[in-house]
Amino acid sequence: MSKIFLAPSLLASDFSRLADQIAQAEEGGADWLHLDVMDGHFVPNISFGPLVVRAARKCTKLPLDTHLMIENPDEYLEAFRDAGSDHIIVHQEACTHLHRTISRIKELGAKAGVAINPATSASTLNDVLPDVDLILIMSVNPGFGGQKFIRGSLKKLREVSSMIKESGKEIFLEVDGGIDPVTAPQVVEAGANVLVAGTAVFSTQGIKQAITKLRQSYKTKQKNL
């Protein structure tokens, strides 16, 4: 998988102009849209639920990458799939029966992803790796946009990247938190092939220019891979 996918996170967008912000991201060259669902329990913040995912679905054909930062995700998988999510990502830390949850997401016809927090070891993914379509490495503690990238995530990305290579499967390796033109080349070099970026895309003068700037930042690293 040599292509690098860029997934702008709507969390940093202007929700009073959601359709326009999505259109700009799409025109600007976004590959996926990342939707951060927060419940005020698993993370200390509340964002939005299936209604907003459904609204985003009406505005774009881009894959919707739904990141569930919620407790009891099993109870809501169907609602998020019905709302139009193409990928459903659950947290390893929130799932007692992770294998069952992954199977359920796949049964619903979505791509199944598993996210791990900065304090969770890559080895916790060993036994589910063959069953997932995507692994998400959190490079900040989940809950808020605009936080500083945690450098220890680079080592974890390298580790998971080799686990994926060893598995021989095509699994997306996504990174989320603090991605900007400085950290983007570093995570690409460490093996990430899906980059989530909120602040670096939406809290700028121009969404299109910000996406172009991000892509430019890791271009040389891609050649060296």
Q: Could you list the active site residues?
A: 36, 176
Quick one: what does residue 198 bind among Zn ion, ligand DX5, none, with the CB cut-off 5 to 8 Å set by partner type? ligand DX5
> Nearest-CA neighbor of 23 among 202, 215, 181?
202
* Phi/psi-derived region of residue 63, left when phi > 0, alpha when psi is between -120 and 50, beta in every other case: beta
Looking at 4-12, 91-99, 156-164, 217-225, which segment touches ligand DX5 (CB under 6 A)? 4-12
198 near ligand DX5, judged by CB under 6 A: yes
**The one among 13, 176, 200, 217 contacting Zn ion by CB under 5 A:** 176
Quick one: what does residue 178 bind among Zn ion, ligand DX5, none, with the CB cut-off 5 to 8 Å set by partner type? ligand DX5
In the complex with Zn ion, which residue's Cβ is closer, 15 or 107? 15
- Give me the least distance between CB of 165 and ligand DX5, in Å please: 25
Query: Looking up tokens 């799932």, which residue turns up?
Result: 95
d(Cα 44, Cα 24) in Å, to the nearest integer? 30
Q: How many residues does the chain have?
A: 225
Looking at 18-26, 155-163, 164-172, 198-206, which segment touches ligand DX5 (CB under 6 A)? 198-206
Cα→Cα distances 53→64, 84, 136, Å: 8, 7, 19
Looking at 20-28, 88-96, 124-132, 196-204, which segment touches ligand DX5 (CB under 6 A)? 196-204
The binding track of 138-177 with respect to ligand DX5, each residue x by CB under 6 A or -, is: --x-xxxxxx----------------------------xx
23: how many CB neighbours lie within 10 A of its CB? 14
Q: Where are the alpha helices (DSSP H) in the chain?
A: 18-27, 50-59, 77-82, 98-107, 153-167, 183-189, 199-202, 207-224
Task: Confirm if 78 and 110 have CB atoms less than 8 A apart.
Answer: no
d(Cα 11, Cα 92) in Å, to the nearest integer? 21
In the complex with ligand DX5, which residue's Cβ is closer, 39 or 176? 176
81 near ligand DX5, judged by CB under 6 A: no
- Give me the least distance between CB of 216 and ligand DX5, in Å please: 17
**The one among 31, 36, 39, 174 contacting Zn ion by CB under 5 A:** 36
**The one among 57, 67, 87, 104 contacting Zn ion by CB under 5 A:** 67
Task: Confirm if 38 and 219 have CB atoms less than 8 A apart.
Answer: no
Give the residues lining the site for Zn ion (CB under 5 A). 36, 67, 176
